[in-house]
């Protein structure tokens, strides 16, 4: 088994709350285990530009409560090319780095797997960091809990003004391929309807539900739309409903990048710490081209191949049924 002596850590793709606790755990676990640890700025772009620096335990002091990522992040098109990967590899060899912990989502893992297959002497371990909660191999991904709490807080405030003005609000949340945030936030906030990428909802059915709410003397309503819903953009959906239901004063709010920011929740701080620690331990035990994740509150290791190709329906059936029943 090839031993490692120098470890690199990077964050790539969209940022997620909890990345900093994970970086902290990687750095301190690595140093405690006798490894030299190098921080790589701006993800794969930092590999290509050789933007790296030595880290020590104090490099990650007082970052548990910080959103974003101290290592910065970026999406790097050159890393998708053979030339870009070769440059990254040569920079890693020059730095003496023989293992990487990559924190990010499916795009990050796709790059990591391709790179590791091309250069197998660099061991790679993934940590699922994405608010979308859409990776196989981990019940929860880093940032999902914080993002959901952020959405719930925002919708609670919108509910106040919706009720004051007897308005119908359409609220778009992140989730191009996953309705995980939309579903949980909808249940938490008592949304009258939740539109999800995983579940087809006819606009006619939505209109009937809203009319039923009027009949039941609901003065205001909240409809949560995941950005990947098959009916199109939230403005198009709101316009179609407005054409059929004239009595409502309809407003649209897109929460956008608000959902990625903010101090990580206690859950994401613990999860980030556990996954960062587990990633380093897995590398020391000889694993590569894999991902650490949380399943049934235990750390499990999944191959990157599985994480990228297996699709798991993560929306709980009881929550989906409850959302309809409790909105009457």
Q: What is the overall mean pLDDT for the chain?
A: 92
Task: Provide the pLDDT for residue 177.
Answer: 83
Distance CA 103, CA 264 (A): 15
Q: Would residue 293 count as lying in a domain? A: yes
Q: Which of helix, strand or coil describes residue 116?
A: helix
Of 128, 161, 154, nearest to 142 by C-alpha is: 128
The pTM score is 0.93
Q: Would residue 126 count as lying in a domain? A: yes
Distance CA 194, CA 185 (A): 9
- If asked whether residues 13 and 127 sit together in one domain, one would say yes
Does residue 67 register a pLDDT over 90? yes
- If asked whether residues 17 and 139 sit together in one domain, one would say yes
Residue 304 — pLDDT band, cuts 50, 70, 90? very high
Q: Would residue 121 count as lying in a domain? A: yes
Please state the domain count of the chain. 2
Asked if 202 and 193 count as a contact pair (C-beta separation under 8 A), the reply is: no
Of 80, 92, 93, 67, nearest to 14 by C-alpha is: 67
The catalytically annotated residue of 15, 106, 132, 134 is 132
CATH number at residue 137: 3.40.50.450
Asked if 24 and 273 count as a contact pair (C-beta separation under 8 A), the reply is: yes
Q: Which range of residues forms the domain containing residue 302?
A: 6-143+264-309
Distance CA 222, CA 204 (A): 17
- If asked whether residues 26 and 138 sit together in one domain, one would say yes
* Phi, psi angle pair for 16, to nearest 5°: -145, 135
- If asked whether residues 139 and 118 sit together in one domain, one would say yes
Does residue 231 register a pLDDT over 80? no
- If asked whether residues 226 and 304 sit together in one domain, one would say no
- If asked whether residues 113 and 254 sit together in one domain, one would say no
Does residue 214 register a pLDDT over 70? no
- If asked whether residues 243 and 109 sit together in one domain, one would say no
Could you report the per-residue pLDDT of 21-40, keeping only the tens digit for each?
Answer: 999 999 999 999 999 999 99
Task: Provide the pLDDT for residue 205.
Answer: 79
Task: Provide the pLDDT for residue 243.
Answer: 87
Task: Provide the pLDDT for residue 213.
Answer: 63
Q: Name the CA dihedral angle for 289, 291, 295, 298, rounded to a multiple of 10 degrees.
A: 90
What angle do the packed helices 144-165 and 266-284 form, to 10 degrees?
160
Q: Name the CA dihedral angle for 32, 33, 34, 36, rounded to a multiple of 10 degrees.
A: -80
Q: Would residue 315 count as lying in a domain? A: no
Q: What is the 3-state secondary structure (H, E, C) of 224-247?
A: EEECCCCCCCHHHHHHHHHHHCCC
Is there a catalytic annotation at residue 54?
no
- Sign of the C-alpha dihedral computed for residues 232, 238, 243 and 245 taken in this order: positive
Residue 117 — pLDDT band, cuts 50, 70, 90? very high
Q: Would residue 323 count as lying in a domain? A: no
């Amino acid at each position: 088994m090839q031993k490692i002596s120098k470890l690199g850590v990077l964050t790539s793709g969209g940022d997620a709350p909890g990345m900093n606790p994970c970086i902290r755990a990687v750095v301190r676990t690595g140093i405690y285990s006798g490894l030299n640890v190098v921080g790589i700025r701006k993800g794969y772009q930092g590999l290509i530009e050789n933007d790296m620096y030595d880290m020590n335990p104090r490099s990650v002091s007082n970052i548990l409560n910080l959103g974003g990522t101290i290592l910065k992040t970026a999406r790097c098109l050159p890393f998708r090319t053979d030339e870009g990967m070769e440059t990254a590899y040569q920079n890693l060899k020059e730095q003496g780095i023989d293992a990487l912990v990559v924190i990010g989502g499916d795009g990050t893992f796709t790059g990591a797997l391709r790179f590791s297959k091309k250069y197998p002497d660099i061991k790679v371990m993934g940590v699922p960091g994405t608010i979308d909660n859409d990776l196989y191999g981990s019940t929860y991904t880093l940032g999902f809990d914080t993002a959901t709490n952020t959405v719930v807080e925002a919708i609670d405030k919108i509910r106040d003004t919706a009720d004051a003005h007897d308005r119908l609000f359409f609220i778009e949340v992140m989730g191009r391929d996953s309705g995980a945030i939309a579903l949980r936030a909808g249940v938490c906030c008592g949304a009258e309807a939740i539109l999800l990428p995983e579940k087809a909802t006819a606009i006619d059915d939505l209109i009937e539900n809203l009319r039923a709410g009027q009949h039941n003397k609901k003065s205001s309503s909240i409809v949560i739309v995941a950005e990947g819903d098959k009916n199109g953009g939230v403005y198009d959906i709101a316009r179609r409903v407005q054409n059929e239901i004239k009595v409502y004063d309809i407003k649209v709010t897109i929460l956008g990048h608000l959902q990625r920011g903010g101090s990580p929740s206690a859950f994401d701080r613990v999860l980030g710490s556990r996954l960062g620690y587990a990633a380093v331990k897995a590398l020391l035990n000889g694993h590569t081209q894999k991902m650490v994740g949380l399943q049934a509150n235990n750390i499990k290791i999944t191959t990157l191949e599985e994480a990228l190709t297996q699709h798991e329906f993560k929306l709980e059936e009881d929550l989906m049924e409850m959302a309809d029943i409790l909105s009457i």
